[in-house]
Chain A
Amino acid sequence: MIYAIRTLVGQEKNVARIIGRNVKNSGIEVNSILVPESLRGYILVESTSKIDMQNPAFKVPHMKGAIEGEIPYDEVKNFLNPEPILASVQKGSIVELISGPFKGEKAKVVRIDESKEDVVLELIEAAVPIPVTVKGDQIRLIQKEAD
């Protein structure tokens, strides 16, 4: 059985660590605690038996409450194997840089190095096209294919 707990955004790992420590001492049957990167503000608690979310072990700072009901295991599976960041990006895609010195700039993908997870971009608004190489997690896809 998998339950979801709402936390403050950014405090997911801290809440998970505190709950992990609490359940060890209190004897509640919790098997694992999952913090998916794509699900901000939530953590998932796995248990073999029904657990009482009102237990004091689940009263930790930065926690905003538990979600009623269970989450099917099949839905959680999607979080366990996050697809590579570059899977949806292809040559000619329009992306936005989300970190680094060119943060906020839009760029076109020129080349993809899948083994290193690097992408070579050309900034759209630059007067002279200069290739810029960035890591795959520094970009956000805006448009999959160029017109």
Chain B
Amino acid sequence: MVLKACTRCHRLMEEDRCAICNIASSRNWSGFLIVVDPDKSDIAKELNISLPGEYALRVR
């Protein structure tokens, strides 16, 4: 299982294309963030994340 990150929304997934942005995902990412409650989280607001899930901080 190789996790990949969407190059636009930074969401982590196993698929080759992001289901939300419909663009190619990248294997080259670093940093890891789990968003449980995006409405209350300051970190999620700072990064413009509106959906719960796992995210990368940096994607190439």
Size of B's binding interface in residues, CB under 8 A = 20
> Contacts A35-B31, A77-B46 given: A46-B41 contact, CB under 8 Å?
yes
With CB as the reference atom, state the residue of chain B lying closest to A44: B43
B57 touches A33 (CB 8 A): no
Main SS class of interface, B: mixed
Give the size category of A's interface with B.
Answer: 20 to 34
* Given A13-B32, A31-B42, A32-B41: 11 more A-B contacts, CB < 8 Å: A12-B32, A20-B36, A31-B36, A32-B34, A32-B35, A32-B36, A32-B43, A33-B33, A80-B43, A80-B47, A82-B58
A-B contact pairs, 28 of them (CB 8 A): A12-B32, A16-B34, A24-B36, A30-B37, A31-B35, A31-B40, A31-B41, A31-B42, A31-B43, A32-B34, A32-B36, A32-B38, A32-B43, A33-B34, A33-B36, A34-B32, A34-B43, A35-B32, A37-B30, A37-B57, A37-B58, A46-B41, A46-B42, A73-B42, A79-B31, A82-B57, A117-B60, A137-B30
